[in-house]
């Protein structure tokens, strides 16, 4: 079973990743540390990551990818602080 889980490394990078449900740790993409699974990431009352709501999961994923793309674009154009402005207006 594939799930979306949050991982955090000892340098404080948080990474969201599709993993097998048995996976407990990944390599942090931002550094070379091992990032371990964050337990119980409660993001909304509707658990879109469970797979019980396929439509909601797809919608959530699409919105999330769009948000990330907007943040990347803002950072490219205006520097790291711009990501916060995008996150606030989302």
Binding range to Zn ion, per CB under 5 A, among 23-31, 40-48, 52-60, 78-86? 23-31
3-class SS at 89? helix
Whole-angstrom Cα distance, residue 41 to residue 37? 10
Tell me the closest approach of the beta carbon of residue 58 to Zn ion, in angstroms: 29
Please tell me whether residue 34 binds Zn ion under the rule CB under 5 A. Answer: no
Whole-angstrom Cα distance, residue 17 to residue 27? 11
Q: Are 90 and 67 in contact, with CB atoms under 8 Å apart?
A: yes
Among 4, 5, 7, 28, binds Zn ion (CB under 5 A): 28
Q: Which residues bind Zn ion (CB under 5 A)?
A: 9, 11, 13, 28, 30-31, 33
């Amino acid at each position: 079973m594939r799930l979306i889980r949050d991982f955090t490394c000892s340098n404080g990078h948080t990474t969201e990743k599709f993993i097998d449900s048995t996976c407990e740790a990944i390599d942090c993409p931002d550094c070379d540390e091992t990032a371990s699974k964050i337990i119980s990431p409660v993001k909304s009352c509707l658990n879109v990551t469970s797979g019980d709501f396929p439509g909601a999961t797809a919608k959530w994923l699409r919105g999330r990818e769009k948000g990330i793309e907007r943040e990347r674009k803002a950072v490219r154009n205006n520097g790291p602080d711009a990501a916060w402005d995008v996150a606030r207006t989302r």
